[in-house]
Amino acid sequence: MKSSLSPTAQIDPMQNRFEASDAVKILSALSQPSRLEIFRLLVRYLPYGLAAGDVARLLAVPHNTLSTHLTLLEQAGLVLSRREGRSIIYAANRNRALQLSAFLLEDCCRMTQQPCDVSALTGAALPFPAKRESFMSQTIYNVLILCTGNSARSIMAEAILNREGAGRIRAFSAGSQPRDVPNPHALILLKDLGYDTDGFRSKSWNEFAAQGAPKMDFIITVCDSAAGESCPFWPGHPLVAHWGIPDPAAVNGTDAEKRAAFMEAYRRLGARISAFVNLDIETLDLSTLKHRLEDIGAMDGATPMAAQWKAAAKLDPARMS
């Protein structure tokens, strides 16, 4: 399929001239927090891109607001777009970001007699990514997401991962001390974002350690308390990672303030899951895969314990398996 780029997004990856005005336009576009999040999300989905609806859902950004942000990012050359059926697919323009980096570091490179060759940085990149092919792997990876109460963060992560990893990843969630029912704020947010919430329930992690339970390939904790507890024995030695983020249910205040906390948790989980589903799990060796999981856990918004997990894993590699 040929890519049809929007007129504002036709950036020559080999252009030799990058002016200060280009840098100002790019930095201005990225100075707004939502636009920065959108660009970073699209970077994680290179080389395929995302439909506008998927971007809105993953970042919980209203469609009309998203349209404005995407237009400004396109005008700055940071985003490329094409029509695919009824959808418009957006992708980060890797070349443009590399040009900005080279421009900002140009004088530094000259001082060290190592000129920044923009063409060398960008020349191998495609002007627009190819269409994502359907998953061809015969392997379905099982992922168990854990939190103490299995009522909010783990429920949201299960929902996001099952949608984003459909055809390749099957997600489950559980807790060490499950609540009676999932948190209503989590369910309302998921339902508003188009998820089917009928089947969600809070359940014990013992269900997944029992005989006949699905064999897990990955165990991911999303709250610090669950990460610090003694887990059941997981058959098959799955890889273990900690992606701790603050508990939105701990926020007191108005309903609007509580919803904002759940939306923030949703965005942070979405960022981690979007990075995870784009890993080449089939081709990465075990050591590299462990490091990638550690890097994901230390992404923006990580709890102090999650941020320290990577360093701790280097000292004790056994905790990652």
User: What are φ and ψ of residue 23, in 5° steps?
Assistant: -65, -40
pTM: 0.70
Of 110 and 83, more confident: 83
Q: For position 11, what pLDDT does the model report?
A: 42
Q: Which of 108, 109, 116, 147 is catalytic?
A: 147
Integer Cα distance of 245 and 251 in angstroms: 13
**pLDDT top residue among 1 and 271:** 271
Closest CA to 106 of 98, 138, 84, 46: 98
Summarised one tens digit per residue, pLDDT across range 217-263 is 999 999 998 777 777 888 888 999 999 999 999 999 999 999 999 99
Q: Has 231 been annotated as catalytic?
A: yes
Domain 7-122 top-level CATH class? mainly alpha
Q: Tell me, what's the pLDDT at 116?
A: 54
pLDDT given at position 62 = 85
What topology does CATH give the domain 141-320? Answer: Rossmann fold (3.40.50)
Which sign does the torsion angle of CA 60, 62, 68, 70 carry?
Answer: positive
Active-site residue, from 108, 109, 116, 231: 231
Residue 109 annotated in active site: no
pLDDT above 50 for 4: no
- Judged by average pLDDT, the poorest of 102-116, 122-136, 152-166 is 122-136
Average pLDDT over residues 262-286: 90
Residue closest to 58 by CA, chosen among 243, 190, 185? 190
Q: In what order do the strands lie in the sheet with 50-51?
A: 50-51, 87-92, 79-84
What is the C-alpha separation between 272 and 295, in angstroms, rounded?
9
Per residue in 43-92, pLDDT (tens digit) is 888 877 888 888 888 888 888 899 999 999 999 999 999 887 787 889 99
Token couple for 183: 């948190």
Which pLDDT score is estimated for 115?
Answer: 53
Give the pLDDT of residue 49.
Answer: 84
Terminal CA-to-CA distance of the chain, rounded, Å?
A: 42
Tell me the average pLDDT of the chain. Answer: 82
Q: Do 197 and 167 contact (CB within 8 A), yes or no?
A: no
What is the full DSSP assignment across 266-287? HHHHHHHHHHHHTS-TTTS-HH
Strand 239-242 relative to strand 169-174: parallel, antiparallel, unpaired? unpaired
223 is known as an active-site residue = yes
State residue 90's pLDDT score: 92
266 contact partners, CB below 8 Å, separation of at least 6: 60, 156, 160, 189, 193
* Residue 50: per-residue pLDDT: 86
For residue 14, CA distances in Å to 6, 22, 77, 80, 104 come to 18, 15, 14, 16, 18
The better pLDDT of the pair 228, 204 is held by: 204
Bridge partner list, 142: 170
Is the per-residue pLDDT at 316 higher than 60? no
When computed from its CA atoms, the radius of gyration of the chain, rounded to whole angstroms, is 21
Whether 137 shows a pLDDT value over 60: the answer reads no
The structural domains of the chain, with segments of one domain joined by +, span: 7-122, 141-320
